[in-house]
Structure 1
Amino acid sequence: MTTTAANATNAPGRPPAVRLDTVCKSYGSSYAVQDLSLDIAPGEFFSLLGPSGCGKTTSLRMIGGFTDPTEGTILLDGADVTALPPNKRDVNTVFQSYALFDHLSVRDNVAFGLKRKGVARTEIRERVATMLERVQLAELAERRPTTLSGGQRQRVALARALVNRPQVLLLDEPLAALDLKLRRQMQVELKQIQREIGITFVFVTHDQDEALTMSDRTAVLSEGHLQQCGTPEDVYERPANSFVASFMGTSNLVPGTYRSGGVVMDQGPELPVGPREGIAEDSRVSLAIRPEKIWLSDLAPGMARVNGVVRETVYSGPTTTYLIELAPGVTVSVLEQNTDRSRMEDRWSGGEHVEVGWFPEHCLVLE
């Protein structure tokens, strides 16, 4: 992964809101983050995504000044802040726990940072009132955090951070404690607030759907290394490697050997994929294809086709997932929308022989 691929598109003459230049963090001989270079544009909603232990929270803490990098440079709006403590950086952080003061009202929680900075009382009242309106908490201003729902507490934490008007807002999995329905609602609301205010958001999550839903761009990390950085469409539709393909949603990875425009499975037929630039003949590869790109019926001309056996059928309301065995030890997942009532009543059953197909341009060949 090159540094340039992780760069943001900034306004001419304006530096990135955040720049990480070959940043490393080690603990003894073990690296939590290694050679991480990123440019995050002003006003961008940027996500750090990856499994537990990949280095995303460590990266966020280094931006905020809570953790010192072992090597590399951190710049905010072009200024080197690598050695500055958190209170000297123009950033605020929303933690997963929210860290609200339960003995204070919602209004006083939001005003807390402004009071510590010595902002005039009149300005505090105006800014707090405006922010409570923006996060739809004006009617709850006198309530204590302990009387609020999880989503309301999350809004209080967000308002308390945003009222300080930071250059960058850091969010460390702030939606993780919410139930699924509320979490999805807050994803939309958080993105809307970010667009209205225009502050740069750096958002840490392990949830792929969350990153795809909310981000302008996403950096995918694994074991402290940057695997890919790009728009949600880039990382989902054009993963850089097998890790990204498998981590971003569900992807079928079929191992084999690349020969003359096809992938020959270890035990099974050749799967046509067309010529692929940069893939050497007879090299070991993985064929990556998303479940929603595979067809089980009404196959169209030009599709690659292969026979298989249905091994499992999983009904999930809007969709049905089929597990299709293409060859011994090779099973792919196929996702169909339940849009046709006749199709719903005539789902494929285990043991049935089927023909599956996909367009060659919808699959990736990964070395």
Structure 2
Amino acid sequence: MTSIDTPRAGAAEAGAPPAVRLDRISKTYGNSTAVDDLCLDIAPGEFFSLLGPSGCGKTTSLRMIGGFTDPSAGTVLLSGEDVTALPPDKRNVNTVFQSYALFDHLSVADNVAFGLKRKGVARAEIRTRVAAMLERVQLGGLGDRKPGTLSGGQRQRVALARALVNRPQVLLLDEPLAALDLKLRRRMQVELKQIQREVGITFVFVTHDQDEALTMSDRVAVMNEGRVEQCGTPEDVYEHPASRFVASFMGTSNLVPGTYRDGQVVLDCGPALPVGPRDGVADGAAVSLSVRPEKIWLSDFEPGMALVRGVVRETVYSGPTTTYLIELAPDVTVSVLEQNTDRSRMEDRWCGGESVEIGWRPEHCLVLE
């Protein structure tokens, strides 16, 4: 649980209130806690992602920002204004849902104009704003089409345009790319980030996809069991995970059990490896040594590297890369990722059953209690 004295995850710049502030927000359903005493600041103009597995509380947190779910405790503030008791239509936010929730009987232009008409905006201004927004999301000329005639990516853009045309203070996105195929999803990740930079609106994005969060976000909050385990830039969260959960959830990380002693980790499977002094890790503590697969070398070792012998148990070719599963001990297997460059040849790859030596730089490993 986050204590009252714990600094907020990501404070806004001095002098400017956060676009979103969650102040000790909790949500309980009977004996079940979905969000637990969450404190979070999201800066104006930031692309901020709530990332975590199903049931971690990320969507519930998003719904409390939007007003669709009432918190059991705590306060929601938008640009310094307490909106905890306000309904969704009284908050200057818009939401893009996973289902898009488009009106199939209306044209694309009428879908985008829907919110403006409800606000009583003048017709001439509606036409101007809708046309400009359709151009921005690369749907110019498709205003007369019905949503049912569009591709998945185009429908996603319509939903985005409908939300952005209202010029919200904050745009909430609840896994809006989940229904797209992999190739289109990757393209839309880049386009969505470009659109966010152009409009300058704060985006709060919910996803369970680590690659998606790393690709688009200015900062990421990794959630687990209703709490934020770590909040930081994509690079910080990936390269310097603060817990075993973050290390294992953010991509692939090898977690090898051992004991920390005097600047070394004595692995349970045998060897003692140099890791250097580690602040906050007590001598004799049970730890896990965390090393990313792409940080491990299979040849051309440098002086000072930590070296371990193992046996190749599986070789997985996947186009640009080859992954080796290497057994260090009967219950300890690590994965090693190598790029398939022009110099890589099929006959040079390691095969199952071969004995190999692997190594990594001490600065590329983390010691997690």
TM range (shorter): over 0.9
8 Å CA contact 1:312, 1:322 repeated in 2: yes
What SS does the corresponding residue of 2:131 show, helix, strand or coil?
helix
Write the deviation string for residues 137-158 of structure 1: whole angstroms up to 9, x where unpaired.
Answer: 1111100000000000000000
**Which residue of structure 1 lines up, in the alignment, with residue 352 of structure 2?**
350
1:262 and 1:34 mapped to 2: Cα distance? 36
Determine the C-alpha separation between the residues in 2 that align with 1:187 and 1:262.
Answer: 41
Cα distance in 1 for partners of 2:252, 2:344 equals 27
- Matched with 1:7 is 10
Query: Residue 156 of structure 1 aligns to a residue in which SS?
Result: helix
2:260 to 258, 261, 267: 258
Residue 212 of structure 1 is aligned with which of 211, 214, 235? 214
Aligned to 2:279, what secondary structure does the other structure show? coil
Counterparts of 2:85 and 2:344, CA distance in 1: 65
Cα distance in 1 between the residues matched to 2:298 and 2:346: 13
| Aligned counterparts of 1:51 and 1:305: Cα–Cα separation in 2 | 34
CA offsets 1:128-187 (integer angstroms, 9 cap, x no match): 010001001111110000000000000000000000000000000000000000000000
Give the Cα–Cα distance (whole angstroms) in 1 for the partners of residues 193 and 161 of structure 2.
14
Identical aligned residues as a percent: 82
1:176 aligns with 2:178: yes
TM-score (norm 2): 0.97
1:193 to 192, 195, 207: 195
* Cα distance in 1 for residues equivalent to 2:140 and 2:344: 50
CA contact (8 A) 1:314 1:320 kept: yes
Q: Find the aligned partners of 2:35 and 2:270 in 1 and give their Cα distance.
A: 40
Q: Which runs of 5+ in 2 are unaligned?
A: none
Match of 1:107 in 2: 109
Deviations 1:44-67 (A, max 9, x none): 000000000000000000000000
For the Cα contact (< 8 Å) 1:245–1:288, is it kept in 2? yes
How far apart, CA to CA, are the structure 2 residues paired with 1:265 and 1:126? 66
CA contact (8 A) 2:105 2:146 kept: yes
Distance in 1 separating the partners of 2:272 and 2:176: 46
Whether the 8 Å CA contact 1:66–1:85 is kept in 2: the answer is yes
In structure 2, the residue matched to 1:233 is: 235
Whole-angstrom distance in 1 between the partners of 2:288 and 2:340? 30
User: Is contact 1:5-1:230 (8 Å) kept?
Assistant: no
> Unaligned stretches of 5+ in structure 1?
none
Counterpart of 1:72 in 2: which secondary structure?
strand
3-state SS of the aligned residue for 1:239?
Answer: coil
Q: Is the 8 A contact 2:260 2:266 kept in 1?
A: yes
Match of 2:166 among 144, 164, 175: 164
3-state DSSP of counterpart to 1:345 = helix
Q: Of 132, 135, 141, which aligns to 2:134?
A: 132
1:342 shift after superposition = 4.1
Once the 2 structures are TM-superposed, how far is the Cα of residue 9 of structure 1 from its aligned partner? Answer: 3.5
Q: CA contact under 8 A between 1:5 and 1:229: conserved in structure 2?
A: no
| Secondary structure in structure 1 of the residue aligned to 2:141 | helix
Superposed CA RMSD in Å reads 1.1
Counterpart residue identity of residue 28, structure 2: S
> Alpha-carbon deviation of 1:264?
1.3
Q: Which amino acid aligns with 1:250?
A: T
In 2, distance between residues paired with 1:65 and 1:49?
Answer: 20
Q: CA deviation at 1:277?
A: 1.6
TM-score normalised according to structure 1 size: 0.98
User: Within 5 A, what are the aligned runs for 1:136-155?
Assistant: 136-155=138-157
Equivalent residue for 1:312?
A: 314
In 1, the alpha carbon distance for the partners of 2:143 and 2:100 equals 17
Q: Which moved more, 1:353-362 or 1:324-333?
A: 324-333
Aligned 8 A contact 1:307 1:356 in 2: yes
Matched position secondary structure for 1:48: strand
Return the letter of the residue paired with 2:276. Answer: G
Evaluate the alpha carbon distance shift between residue 325 and residue 65 of structure 1 in structure 2; reply closer, same or farther with a 3 A threshold. same
User: More displaced, 35-44 or 262-271?
Assistant: 262-271
How many residue pairs end up in the alignment? 366
Among 47, 67, 70, the residue aligned to 1:68: 70
Q: After superposition, what is the alpha-carbon deviation per residue over 1:43-100, rounded to whole angstroms, capped at 9, x for unaligned?
A: 0000000000000000000000000000001000000000100000000000000000
Deviation at 1:273, TM superposition (A): 1.2
